[in-house]
Amino acid sequence: MYETTTLGGGCFWCLEAVFSELKGVQKAESGYAGGSVPHPSYQAVCTGTTGHAEVVQVTFDPQVITYREILEVFFDIHDPTTLNRQGADVGTQYRSVVFYHDEGQKAAVEAMIADLGASGRWRDPIVTQVLPFDVFYKAEDYHQEYFKHNGRQPYCQMVVAPKLTKFRQHFVTKLK
């Protein structure tokens, strides 16, 4: 039986590219969550006025990859200490957020944040929001598998590709 988690950590193109390569991940879809506007468009989310974050919804097999392992990857590939930004991407739509789907996920992410905070890995405190999942709006088709189809695009070369390279180096044994 598959489980689902919804994660925001900057641009969804980066997250989707990474999670798509993990063993045990059945699918990773780019979309929007956490806002008040139903069925938002990319253009609306980019204004920062919808309340939505760019997210990836990850469907995974917990017999192959645990939720904690999903979180380890998530916290490794973005900076959870920067409020409403990842690199040059600035705005609430790029915030670090975990939308938990059940109380077990909530407890796991809270424990992970506590462990990471105590580890001294970052000088600044972790600002990742931990919120109950409500609804996921799948992004427009052209955002799905964006890196796969647009890898030569400058943003992909400068932002997505380095994150993917780092991920592949840190999690080589977890690649499909």
By annotation, the residues acting in catalysis are 11
Q: Positive or negative, the Cα torsion across 125, 52, 50, 148?
A: positive
* CB-based contact 30:12 (threshold 8 Å): yes
Compute the C-alpha angle 143/91/87, nearest 5°. 80
Q: How many residues are present in the chain?
A: 176
Q: In what order do the strands lie in the sheet with 129-132?
A: 129-132, 96-100, 3-9, 53-60, 25-33, 137-138
Provide the 8-state DSSP code for 139. Answer: P
